[in-house]
Chain A
Amino acid sequence: MELRGHLDLMLLSSLRQLGSAHGYAIIVALRDGSDGVFDLPEGTVYPALHRLERAGLVNSDWDTSGARRRRVYRLTTDGTAALAAKQREWHAFAHGMRALIAPTASEGLA
């Protein structure tokens, strides 16, 4: 499935649900939360997370409580606002697309 352009929305949504999480947990949440539909190449997630962090939408810290150091990400206030804006855009897009590809009355009768 082509995910270009939707990855940011997916990552921000996952982080809102998870609260704070490291990259591996985010990928697992994306895969499991979409019933396996979004089983994206795992290596694409980290560049996207770094980009979101530089854009100020997420921040991160090292978590040293476990056996290995882990970078843990969480949404910022700007990230929460951006997520709301992207959700509105997505719903408008999905609404328009549904209307466009839905069968017309004549097709339905044929």
Chain B
Amino acid sequence: MTDSDVDRYLDRLFDGLAGTGGVGRRALVEVEDHLRTSVAERVDHGMSHEDAERSAVASFGDVRMVARRLRAGHRQARRAAAASSAWLVVALACAAAAASVLLTVADRLWEAARGPSWGDCVASSPCDVAGETGYLLPIGVTLAVVSAVLLVSRHLLQRRARVATSARRLPVLLAVLCALLTPVLLTSFGGDPVTVNSAVVGANGPGLFMTVVASAVTAAASIAAIGWALLAQRRRANA
């Protein structure tokens, strides 16, 4: 039994889409549905089955061109998603850095309000509050403005279809990155997270409390992001 024109076309498209994974499999199913529908419609209009297959394949276009466009679209979309993801990551990194710096400024001001007898002024250096907040505050504000500009401009450009959405796996990647970075940052200064935090934000001030709260929020957000991504992946697989 010889292959029909449609079968031969699909075989050649299958070869042309090798290595494209799920994207290629989905395209093959769509193209097959299209060609079978097209053939059935032509037969309904009085064509012989052989002529209908030949005509449907010809209307669809050269198989190498179709495969090339599908592959190129796949590559372009991956690059666009990577650029969009990088844009979002930079914006979020600026927002996180801004929050960190502004929290430090708030901590220093709070400690200064407690008076000059504050015990760990050498470790967390709140003795020169004016000097420290004087250079930290502009940095924090600048980072916050840069982050806001990046997030708003990305959102506006996305609405105008100038920027792609970020990669689907980005939340999971970010969660894993945060989960890996947190212990590194907490232990790289001296090994003991409590000692490190005491040195950085003061053992008795609100800084340690804020660090613990921020860590808990980050951990909860990471777990929620991973759970959400896994659920979304399962929904797509079941669809």
Chain B residues within 8 Å of A51, by CB = 73, 76-77
Q: CB-nearest residue of chain B relative to A57?
A: B161
Q: CB-nearest residue of chain A relative to B59?
A: A42
Answer whether residue B125 sits at the interface, using C-beta atoms and an 8 A cutoff: no
Query: When the two chains form their complex, are residues B29 and A55 in contact, meaning their CB atoms are under 8 A apart?
Result: no
Answer whether residue B80 sits at the interface, using C-beta atoms and an 8 A cutoff: yes
A56-79: CB near B (< 8 Å → 1, else 0) gives: 110001100000111100000010
Known: A57-B161, A62-B239. A42 touches B70 (CB 8 A): no
Shortest C-beta distance, A5 to chain B (Å), equals 13
Tell me the bound Cα distance from A69 to B31 in angstroms.
Answer: 11
Query: When the two chains form their complex, are residues B33 and A22 in contact, meaning their CB atoms are under 8 A apart?
Result: yes
Q: CB-nearest residue of chain A relative to B9?
A: A43
Binds B, one of A13-21, A81-89, A101-109: A81-89
Q: Please list 9 pairs of residues, one from A and one from B, whose beta carbons are closer than 8 Å in the complex, sorted by A's number.
A: A24-B34, A46-B31, A47-B69, A50-B74, A54-B81, A54-B164, A55-B164, A56-B158, A56-B164
Given contacts A69-B33, A70-B33, 14 further A-B contacts (CB under 8 A): A24-B33, A42-B59, A42-B61, A43-B31, A46-B30, A47-B73, A50-B23, A54-B77, A54-B81, A56-B164, A61-B239, A85-B159, A85-B160, A85-B161
Query: When the two chains form their complex, are residues A50 and B33 in contact, meaning their CB atoms are under 8 A apart?
Result: no
Answer whether residue B38 sits at the interface, using C-beta atoms and an 8 A cutoff: yes
Q: Which of B15-42 contact A (CB under 8 A)?
A: 23, 26-27, 29-34, 36-38
Answer whether residue B60 sits at the interface, using C-beta atoms and an 8 A cutoff: yes
Query: When the two chains form their complex, are residues B66 and A78 in contact, meaning their CB atoms are under 8 A apart?
Result: no
Tell me the bound Cα distance from A92 to B74 in angstroms.
Answer: 31
| B-side interface size class | 35 or more
Chain A residues within 8 Å of B159, by CB = 78, 81-82, 85
Chain B residues within 8 Å of A27, by CB = 34
Q: Would you call the interface of chain A mostly helix, strand, loop, or mixed?
A: helix
Tell me the bound Cα distance from A78 to B162 in angstroms.
Answer: 11
Q: How many A-B residue pairs have CB under 8 A?
A: 92
Chain A residues within 8 Å of B164, by CB = 54-56
Q: CB-nearest residue of chain B relative to A42?
A: B60
Q: CB-nearest residue of chain A relative to B34?
A: A24
Query: When the two chains form their complex, are residues B161 and A47 in contact, meaning their CB atoms are under 8 A apart?
Result: no
Tell me the bound Cα distance from A57 to B158 in angstroms.
Answer: 9
Chain B residues within 8 Å of A23, by CB = 30, 33-34
Q: CB-nearest residue of chain B relative to A56?
A: B165
Q: Which of B132-165 contact A (CB under 8 A)?
A: 158-161, 164-165
* Residue among A42, A61, A68, A86 with max Cβ neighbours from chain B (10 Å): A42
Chain A residues within 8 Å of B30, by CB = 22-23, 46, 70-71
Q: Which of A85-101 contact B (CB under 8 A)?
A: 85-86
* Residue among A46, A57, A78 with max Cβ neighbours from chain B (10 Å): A46
Q: CB-nearest residue of chain A relative to B32?
A: A68
Chain A residues within 8 Å of B29, by CB = 69, 71
Shortest C-beta distance, B185 to chain A (Å), equals 33
Tell me the bound Cα distance from A65 to B239 in angstroms.
Answer: 13
The 3 closest A-B pairs by CB, nearest first: A43-B61, A82-B161, A41-B61
